[in-house]
Amino acid sequence: MESPLDKKIIYGLIGYPLVHSFSHDFFNQKFIAEDINALYINFEIEDLGLLMEVIAEYPNLNGLNVTAPFKEAVIPYLDSLDNDAQEIGAVNVIKFIRDPKSGDLVELRGYNSDVVGFGKTLESILTPQMTKAMVLGTGGAAKAVRAALLKHGVEVQLVSRRKSEQTLVYEEITRAMVANYQLIVNATPLGKYPEDDKCPDFPYRFLTREHLCYDLIYNPEETLFMKNSARYGAKTKNGIEMLLLQAFDSYDIWTREGL
């Protein structure tokens, strides 16, 4: 018996957990409003090995978003990457390239719309004084943020809980360092709903009115990172604008002709 899903183009999101997915509601509302014969499904999979089962189960699946913790781990499952995804080493959009006649899957191609979304938000917030940024985190989101900042000529210092040649640890951050980096970006998942009582172990007391503290998290609207930053006078911004912009870019990737 034919299912109603068989007639719809399917898009979706893979990640774990997917407690509150903006993308699910955003895309399905878009499809209804624009009379697009498509459906967006959350595929909450704890094991990335289940990805191929999802693809096999939905033969009209044409695109996926990828969220934590799979933005880097998904790369070996893909056939190719665009330049940004290749350079960053993280993917948050997968395009399904199918044979136009048979519908058979020909290629899975990875993209990174995070770098586009974050990059566009920078155009309205960067000031001439913001020549350096401190990015908290080293995962897929942090890599996209770093790439976008470098494209805008901003020097980047990564901060992590683990020391490496490229990163500082939080305990090393001094007042002088913070004064030198007027843009602070939280690219960690700390503070994300439902664990919104967490935040990076950043020395917030060193912040001033000259700082902008940008949290990629959008739920809750004001994270603990933002509250702590505002307490010391810093301006704050959450990740909703970036999320919208990367969602627009995701749909453009899925529906445009060619690669």
Residues with active-site annotation: 71
Radius of gyration of the chain measured on its C-alpha atoms: 19
Q: Which helix (H) or strand (E) holds 183?
A: strand 183-186
Burial level of 65, CB count in 10 A (0-12/13-18/19+)? buried
Decide if 113 contacts 244 (C-beta within 8 A).
no
- The distance from CA 161 to its chain's CA centroid, rounded to whole angstroms, is 20
User: Of 134, 117, 242, which is closest to residue 186 (Cα–Cα)?
Assistant: 134
Tokens found for residue 256:
């445009």
Tokens found for residue 197:
């009582």
Range 175-178 contact pairs with CB under 8 angstroms and sequence separation of 24 or more: 175/203, 175/206, 177/134, 178/134, 178/203, 178/206, 178/207, 178/211
